[in-house]
Structure formats: C-alpha cells, structure tokens
Amino acid sequence: MARILSTTTLFLLLLCLNQAIAQSKNEISLHRGVIQQAPKKVYKEAKGNKNEVQYLFSGLFLFYKTFFSSQDLTVCTFTPSCSEYGILTVKKYGVVMGGIRTMDRLTRCNGLSPMKYEIDVQAKLLIDKP
C-alpha cells in the first residue's frame, strides 16, 4: 500500500513539475515562425496520364519515391531521379519499353561512369533524359 502511495505521489509531483516548466502561449507564439514548414511536394511528372496503365505505373513510382526512396539520403547522381525517370519513360515509350529503360537506368544509377553524361551545373548532378 505504501509503495502505491509513493508511486502515485511521485507521478503527481512529476506532472505538476511538467506543468510548471511548460511554455506559455506567448512563448509558443514567439517561436512559431522559427521552424519553417517543408514545402508541399508537387510531382509534375504524374500529371497528364493518358490511360489507366499510366496512372497505375505513375502511382507505383510515386509510392516508391514517397515511402522508399525518401528514406535514403539525397545521394542520387542523376537528374531526374530514377523514379521520375521511370514515370517519364513509361509515358513516353509505353509500359514494356519504359519498364526496360527504367531497369537499365537503375543498373546505371551509380557514380562509376560520370564521363558519359552532361553535368547540370546548378544541381551538380548528371543529366540523363528519357
């Protein structure tokens, strides 16, 4: 019984201490503009699909880009990125040739042969247009 009473007292003491050191609304409003919100991502490659297959592949590439590729650091050596390249090639060449070209791009996605590509000076990335 004494253990429960001491645990409850400790919990209430910590709760009161937390409220005592919490920031006031004025302090919060002063710091609200310090952290900038990340700009909302707009994927222009996913627009302009002509049929359901392009919608499906654009959705798959965007799912990959949002949930898997974003977990890595931004170490892509090409512009556009591999997922953007996949969307663009499927739109331009169709599902079969676009898929083959995307797989070819994924095998080339390394920094071992930068002499074969032009360099985007602003982004400092290799240019590989579909």
What is the tens place of the pLDDT at every residue in 55-76? Answer: 888 888 888 877 776 555 666 7
CA distance 80 to 99: 16
For position 54, what pLDDT does the model report? 83
For position 6, what pLDDT does the model report? 82
- Give the mean model confidence (pLDDT) for residues 9-35: 64
Express each pLDDT in 71-120 by its tens digit: 556 667 788 888 888 888 888 898 889 889 988 888 887 666 666 778 88
| Residue 34: pLDDT band with limits 50, 70, 90 | low
Give, in order, the Cα–Cα distances in Å from 45 to each of 13, 49, 62, 89, 122: 55, 9, 9, 10, 21
For position 15, what pLDDT does the model report? 64
Give, in order, the Cα–Cα distances in Å from 107 to each of 15, 22, 48, 104, 112: 56, 52, 27, 5, 11
Where exactly are the structural domains of the chain?
2-31, 48-127
For position 100, what pLDDT does the model report? 92
For position 25, what pLDDT does the model report? 66
| End-to-end C-alpha distance for the chain, whole angstroms | 73
For position 70, what pLDDT does the model report? 59
